[in-house]
């Protein structure tokens, strides 16, 4: 760690990495960051932090940052630096020309889960009002869109039920498809503390994550299922609860829709859902499932935490609903220590969803076809809005490849590196007439752009992020925008240049508009946040101080709704040519596509993605530790280094997607969740062979 000297002043802001949303005191000398000190009054972290938030801020001043707008006619042309006015007018003219040639619905945009609520709100307004369609989607599409769908169906609200503190009161913690100590380190530490105090732990994961066995924590049960069988295991747990008299009848009678419950009880009681009937499919011994179900149902307060190992499957939404069913059946909703808790990946993935980034929903998760909501926004924005849902990201790629979608605005997301089946994505990008990228660096996606609008780092932003516990945190600028303009202003100018005046005066004014139009944000403002530190939505007349725990008296939808969660196998199967199953994930010191963490000197870091492979699979292929291997799937192939590991069982391999040169997403398939199109990153049939590359 570099000692940068004594600070002259400090400003409290929020980490720009994961969905924990830690607060930091940024110690400054003039406009230079001396150090980031975890803020003891931070609602989410209470003085704790991880290596990324504390040390990995150097990217904000990295020499590769682009500080001048750039344009080019063709993607093969060299970039040309221009003024803001010229770049914005050029982008607007090309978007308008594309619409004139191909129709109003031929363009759209993608919002970012790394930017502030106010910036996301501005982008979705620009698309709905200036582009004139609902072709807006968010990078949450590829991570937690099944959470939004599944929890809305069952509980009526597309968000986690608890605050982080709630885990301090859990007696049994069920972790499904999440790796909190790597991906949400500060919360992972809090969970470990509770486990050291005696709480029981059940882990459902194909991979042996740290929580299963680490120096201070050992899971009581590790249900090491085969990839893609989450629904079968969760149904088996619920089957035991129902058939062995472990249902919390008083909770069902008072809180849930009884007809839905009766239908579900009959469905889940079927012997085909029993641990014994599903043992061969899931690979989990029936006795372990039975014992884990008893522990969860009878062990006191039971909480469920889950991550992308749940959502990034062809049955992602079904899995979320199976989790909700289990929580309701055991009465584990509506008080401290229980609940259903999606661990959100990016710093503002909750916020980007809240702010109306989905093609079917306005801010606050209200459907675009709802006339009253539409009229509310039409009145505020002074424009007629479409009531037709627009394109999701995968639909945009498909439509671009087939020639009907021709213009794309990409805000702070590297879709070429992060989205699955890279070859399909790049073909779509090459088919666009106009692509505008607003970002910090010339990333993989910018290679397909005609206009580059430089963005701001979190150290330059004024606004808010919303973390995984629905906590709205202030993001305060500690330095001026290095490229000269706030991102919401760039977006406002672009909308205005397209003929729809959209000039805000400040980020605070945008939040005021959000509050006025979004019932869950009714009493949230910068002034209030500065007074109280942070607020968990809903914050309105019914809950003026915010809502740490949801669904206490009743569910947002009234009665809790049990959903029938039939297991349907994925179409991605292993065979002789592709006998192994690849899952992808993250490591502690890196963050998503690595755009930030690869550009900091202050973090302990790897410099490549590595393939974990079990010793038995490695031996039969002649693969040794550290050897370069070829990794191929039905989609394509890449190379990376092998690591012999017993974290993965025989038949399963694992890697990360942090490094563009390894290109893990060249391999991943186009399969996606049936309800939301969230990609099935967690299941790809692959072959691994020694590579000729040194
Ligand atoms: Fe940042 Fe997440 Fe680490 Fe907290 S846990 S410091 S929010 S990366």
User: pLDDT tens for residues 354-387?
Assistant: 999 999 999 999 999 999 999 999 999 999 999 9
CATH, domain 70-143+348-536, list 1.10.3720.10, 2.40.50.100, 2.10.50.10, 3.40.50.740? 3.40.50.740
Q: Residue 300: exposed, middle, or buried by beta-carbon count in 10 A (0-12, 13-18, 19+)? A: middle
List residues near ligand 1 (CB under 6 A).
15, 17-18, 20-22, 45, 49-50, 52-53, 184-186
Say how far apart CA 95 and CA 496 lie, in whole Å: 13
Instruction: Give the closest residue to 514 by CA, choosing from 385, 371, 379, 380.
Output: 380
Say how far apart CA 211 and CA 177 lie, in whole Å: 12
For range 489-502, the mean pLDDT: 98
* 264 Cβ contact partners less than 8 Å away, ≥ 6 residues apart: 325, 562, 563, 564
- Ligand 1 centroid vs 214 CA: distance in angstroms? 21
Instruction: Give the closest residue to 238 by CA, choosing from 212, 270, 206, 203.
Output: 270
Alpha helix ranges (H) inside 330-486: 349-354, 371-381, 393-402, 415-418, 422-430
Instruction: Say if CB 639 and CB 630 are below 8 A apart.
Output: yes
Pocket test for ligand 1, best of 12, 19, 181, 185 (most atoms within 8 A of CB): 185
Pocket test for ligand 1, best of 186, 192, 348, 458 (most atoms within 8 A of CB): 186
Instruction: Give the H or E element holding residue 93.
Output: helix 84-102
The ligand 1 atom nearest the CA atom of 184? 5
- pTM score over 0.80: yes
* From-to residues of CATH 2.40.40.20 in the chain: 580-690
Query: What does 467-496 look like in DSSP terms, one character per residue?
Result: -TTSEEEEE--SS--TTSS-HHHHHHHHHH
> Which residue CA neighbors atom 3 of ligand 1 most closely?
50
- Ligand 1 centroid vs 163 CA: distance in angstroms? 16
pLDDT at 596: 75
> Which residue CA neighbors atom 4 of ligand 1 most closely?
22
> Which residue CA neighbors atom 1 of ligand 1 most closely?
53
C-alpha torsion 261→263→266→268, nearest 10: -70
The ligand 1 atom nearest the CA atom of 185? 5
ipTM exceeding cut-off 0.90 for this assembly: yes
In the chain, the percentage of residues whose pLDDT exceeds 90 is 82
Residue 223 has which token pair?
């249900």
Pocket test for ligand 1, best of 12, 16, 17 (most atoms within 8 A of CB): 17
- Ligand 1 centroid vs 347 CA: distance in angstroms? 8
> Which residue CA neighbors atom 2 of ligand 1 most closely?
18
Instruction: Say if CB 273 and CB 239 are below 8 A apart.
Output: yes
The DSSP letter of residue 338 is -
* From-to residues of CATH 2.20.25.90 in the chain: 9-61
For range 548-575, the mean pLDDT: 96
Say how far apart CA 675 and CA 74 lie, in whole Å: 36
- Ligand 1 centroid vs 402 CA: distance in angstroms? 41
Name the E strands within 130-278: 136-138, 172-176, 200-204, 213-214, 217-218, 221-223
pLDDT band at 141 (very low <50, low <70, confident <90, very high): confident
pLDDT band at 419 (very low <50, low <70, confident <90, very high): confident
* 93 Cβ contact partners less than 8 Å away, ≥ 6 residues apart: 497
Pocket test for ligand 1, best of 16, 18, 40, 459 (most atoms within 8 A of CB): 18
pLDDT at 1: 42
* From-to residues of CATH 3.40.228.10 in the chain: 145-342
pLDDT, one tens digit per residue, over 655-671 is: 987 666 666 678 888 88
**What's the CATH architecture for 580-690?**
Beta Barrel (2.40)
pLDDT, one tens digit per residue, over 303-332 is: 999 998 999 999 999 999 999 999 999 999
Instruction: Say if CB 618 and CB 624 are below 8 A apart.
Output: yes
Pocket test for ligand 1, best of 19, 21, 22, 605 (most atoms within 8 A of CB): 22
For range 601-617, the mean pLDDT: 80
**What's the CATH architecture for 9-61?**
Single Sheet (2.20)
Instruction: List, as own/partner pairs, every contact residues 3-12 make where C-beta atoms lie below 8 angstroms and the sequence separation is at least 24, other chains included.
Output: 4/29, 4/32, 4/33, 4/34, 4/35, 5/29, 5/34, 6/34, 7/34, 7/35, 10/37, 11/476, 11/477, 11/478, 12/39, 12/42, 12/474, 12/476
- Ligand 1 centroid vs 170 CA: distance in angstroms? 22
Instruction: Give the closest residue to 139 by CA, choosing from 389, 367, 350, 368.
Output: 350
CATH, domain 145-342, list 3.40.50.620, 3.30.420.40, 1.25.40.420, 3.40.228.10? 3.40.228.10
* From-to residues of CATH 3.40.50.740 in the chain: 70-143+348-536
pLDDT at 588: 64
């Amino acid at each position: 760690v570099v000692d940068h000297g004594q600070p002259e002043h400090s400003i409290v802001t929020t980490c720009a990495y994961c969905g924990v949303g830690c607060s930091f005191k940024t110690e400054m000398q003039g406009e230079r960051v001396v150090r980031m000190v975890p803020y003891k009054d931070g609602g989410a972290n209470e003085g704790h932090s991880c290596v990324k938030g504390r040390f990995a801020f150097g990217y904000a001043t990295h020499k590769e940052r682009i500080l001048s707008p750039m344009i080019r006619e063709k993607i093969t042309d060299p970039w040309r630096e221009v003024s803001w006015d010229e770049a914005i007018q050029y982008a607007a003219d090309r978007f308008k020309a594309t619409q004139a040639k191909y129709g109003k619905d031929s363009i759209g945009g993608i919002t970012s889960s790394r930017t502030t609520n106010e910036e996301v709100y501005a982008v979705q307004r620009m698309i709905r009002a200036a582009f004139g369609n609902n072709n807006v989607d968010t990078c949450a599409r590829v991570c937690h869109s099944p959470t939004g769908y599944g929890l809305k169906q069952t509980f009526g609200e597309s968000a986690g039920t608890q605050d982080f503190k709630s885990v301090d009161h859990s007696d049994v913690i069920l972790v499904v498809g999440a790796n909190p100590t790597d991906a949400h380190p500060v919360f992972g530490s809090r969970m470990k503390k509770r486990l050291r105090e005696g709480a029981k732990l059940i882990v459902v994961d194909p991979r042996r994550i740290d929580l299963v066995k680490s120096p201070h924590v050992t899971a009581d049960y590790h249900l090491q299922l085969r990839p893609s069988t989450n629904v079968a295991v969760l149904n088996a747990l619920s089957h035991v609860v129902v058939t062995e008299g472990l249902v919390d009848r008083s909770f069902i009678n008072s809180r849930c829709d009884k007809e839905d419950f009766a239908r579900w009880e009959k469905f889940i009681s079927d012997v085909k859902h029993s641990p014994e009937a599903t043992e061969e499919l899931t690979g989990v011994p029936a006795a372990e499932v039975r014992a884990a179900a008893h522990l969860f149902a009878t062990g006191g307060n039971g909480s469920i935490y889950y991550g992308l190992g749940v959502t990034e499957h062809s049955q992602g939404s079904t899995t979320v609903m199976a989790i909700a069913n289990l929580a309701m059946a055991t009465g584990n909703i509506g008080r401290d220590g229980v609940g259903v808790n999606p661990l959100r990946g990016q710093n503002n993935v909750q916020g980007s969803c809240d702010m109306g980034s989905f093609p079917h929903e306005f801010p606050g998760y209200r459907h675009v076809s709802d006339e009253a909501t539409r009229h509310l926004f039409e009145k505020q924005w002074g424009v007629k809005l479409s009531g037709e849902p627009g394109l999701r990201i995968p639909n945009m790629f498909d439509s671009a490849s087939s020639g009907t979608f021709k213009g794309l605005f990409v805000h702070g997301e590297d879709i070429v590196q992060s989205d699955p089946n890279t070859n399909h994505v790049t073909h779509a990008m090459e088919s666009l007439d106009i692509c505008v990228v607003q970002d910090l660096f010339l990333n993989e996606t910018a290679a397909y752009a005609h206009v580059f609008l430089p963005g701001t780092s979190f150290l330059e932003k004024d606004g808010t992020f919303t973390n995984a516990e629905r906590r709205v945190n202030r993001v305060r600028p500690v330095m001026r925008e290095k490229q000269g303009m706030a991102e919401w202003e760039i977006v406002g100018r672009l909308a205005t240049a397209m003929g729809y005046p959209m000039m805000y005066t400040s980020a605070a004014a945008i939040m005021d508009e959000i509050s006025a139009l979004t019932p869950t944000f009714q009493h949230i403002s910068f002034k209030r946040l500065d007074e109280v530190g942070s607020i968990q939505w809903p914050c309105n007349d019914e809950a003026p101080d915010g809502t740490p725990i949801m669904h206490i008296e009743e569910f947002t939808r009234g009665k809790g709704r049990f959903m029938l969660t039939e297991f349907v196998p994925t179409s991605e199967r292993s065979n002789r040519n592709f006998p192994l199953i690849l899952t992808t994930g993250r490591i502690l010191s890196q963050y998503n596509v690595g755009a930030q963490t690869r550009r900091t000197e202050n973090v302990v870091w790897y410099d490549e993605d590595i393939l974990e492979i079990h010793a038995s699979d490695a031996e039969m292929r002649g693969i040794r530790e550290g050897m370069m291997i070829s990794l191929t799937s039905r989609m394509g192939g890449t190379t990376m280094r092998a690591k012999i590991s017993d974290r993965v069982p025989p038949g399963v391999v694992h890697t990360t997607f942090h490094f563009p040169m390894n290109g893990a997403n060249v391999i991943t398939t186009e399969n996606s969740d049936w309800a939301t199109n969230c990609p099935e990153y967690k299941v790809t049939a692959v072959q691994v062979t020694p590579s000729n590359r040194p």
